[in-house]
Amino acid sequence: MKKSIKILIVFTILAGFIFSLSSFKSNKEVGKIVTKEKVLMLTFDDGPSATEDWEIMNILDQYNVKATFFMTGVNLEKYDSDPGIKKVVDRMIKDGHSLGNHSYYHNKYTNNQTQLVKELNDVNNLIKGIYEQNGISIETKDIPIRMPYLQYYRGLGYVQKKVGNPYWVRGYLGTDYLGEETGKDKILKQYYSHLSNGKILVAHTREYAKVWLPEFLETLQSEGYKFANFTQNTNHYYQNYGKLGS
Ligand SMILES: [Zn+2]
């Protein structure tokens, strides 16, 4: 093979590699607070649920822990028609928990960027409207996003440019969502073996949380861990500990 052709091939591969890397990787994706302090972020996906989130908040209350709830549009839109949903979401705000965007329909969005942009914007508007009804004005830049199934793929960079949310929140995901099938001991073990300063932990709005969550919080607090979230102007706001990073 001629040397010039070889160089061309190498260059093409390299350029393709750099392109795919740059379009895949986004500095918006975060999985922790960059900090030396013993702090964690506890997050619950898939709500709101009038019963399950209410129970979860009762437990969080016992330990004075503030969390973040990443919720879907299909569930959040019931805020205006279902008094139970209104009550549970209003309590999240009143108690100092944070509301996050978990898409509208909780689908897989590969190659469906236009739909994803629309859904994320719709849920941003729902969340802003709910805060507004609670007398709080919040901007899109202060609403965290978590992708359903923690999906990240090439082309997501386009979506991230189109919506105004700076933080797309990943974190450690075990199998708490399988509840009994995973069991308390294994759920706790999964989280305990993935702890590090600033780590964001993914959990779910499930009835089974009441089985593992109290012991989890009890243990972590006895080890000196604190908990942060996205609620500004509070002593549990993550910025009191550091910036978000991957
Ligand atoms: Zn989810």
Q: Note the pLDDT tens digit of each residue in 114-155.
A: 999 999 999 999 999 999 999 999 999 999 999 999 999 988
- Is the pLDDT assigned to residue 160 strictly greater than 50? yes
pLDDT tens digit sequence for 25-73: 556 999 999 999 999 999 999 999 999 999 999 999 999 999 999 999 9
pLDDT at position 8 over 50: yes
Q: The pTM is what?
A: 0.90
- How do residues 169-201 score in pLDDT, each as one tens digit? 999 999 999 999 999 999 999 999 999 999 999
CA 189 to centroid of ligand 1, rounded, Å: 21
CA 97 – CA 187 distance, rounded (Å) = 23
Quick one: 27-245 is in which CATH superfamily?
Glycoside hydrolase/deacetylase (3.20.20.370)
Distance, CA 148 to ligand 1 centroid (Å)? 4
Ligand 1 mean position, distance from CA 220 (Å): 24
Distance 102 CA to ligand 1 centre (A): 7
What distance in angstroms lies between residue 122's CA and the mean position of ligand 1's atoms? 17
Angle between helices 83-94 and 52-62 (to 10 degrees): 20
Distance 168 CA to ligand 1 centre (A): 14
- Whether pLDDT at 94 is above 70: yes
Cα 218 to averaged position of ligand 1 atoms, centre (Å): 26
Domain borders along the chain are: 27-245
Going from the Cα of 11 to the center of ligand 1, the distance in angstroms, rounded, reads 40
Q: How far is the CA of 45 from the centre of ligand 1 (A)?
A: 5
CA 75 – ligand 1 centroid, Å: 12
- Average of pLDDT values for 207-224? 98
Which pairs from 216-224 meet CB under 8 Å and 24+ separation? 216/188, 216/191, 217/59, 217/60, 217/62, 217/63, 217/65, 218/63, 219/188, 219/192, 220/40, 220/195, 221/63, 221/65, 223/38, 224/38
Cα-to-centroid distance, 149 and ligand 1 (Å) = 6
**Separation of CA 185 and ligand 1 centre (Å):** 22
Cα 116 to averaged position of ligand 1 atoms, centre (Å): 15
Q: Which residues contact 202 (CB under 8 A, 6 or more apart)?
A: 43, 45, 146, 150, 170, 171, 172, 173, 174
Position 23 scores a pLDDT of: 44
- What's the confidence (pLDDT) of residue 155? 87
| pLDDT for position 9 | 62
Binned at pLDDT 50, 70 and 90, residue 11 comes out as: low
Question: Is residue 111 over pLDDT 90?
Answer: no
* 68/57 Cα distance (integer angstroms): 11
Instruction: Give the Cβ contact number of residue 105 at 10 Å.
Output: 14
Which band of pLDDT confidence, cut at 50, 70 and 90, is reported for residue 17?
low
Q: What is the pLDDT of residue 123?
A: 98
Ligand 1 centroid–CA 206 distance in Å is: 11
Interval between CA 219 and ligand 1 midpoint (Å)? 26
- Ligand 1: distance of its center to the CA of 107 in Å? 9
> Which tokens hold the place of 34?
């960059």
Instruction: Find the 52 Cα to ligand 1 centroid distance in Å.
Output: 15
Separation CA 39–CA 37 (nearest Å)? 6
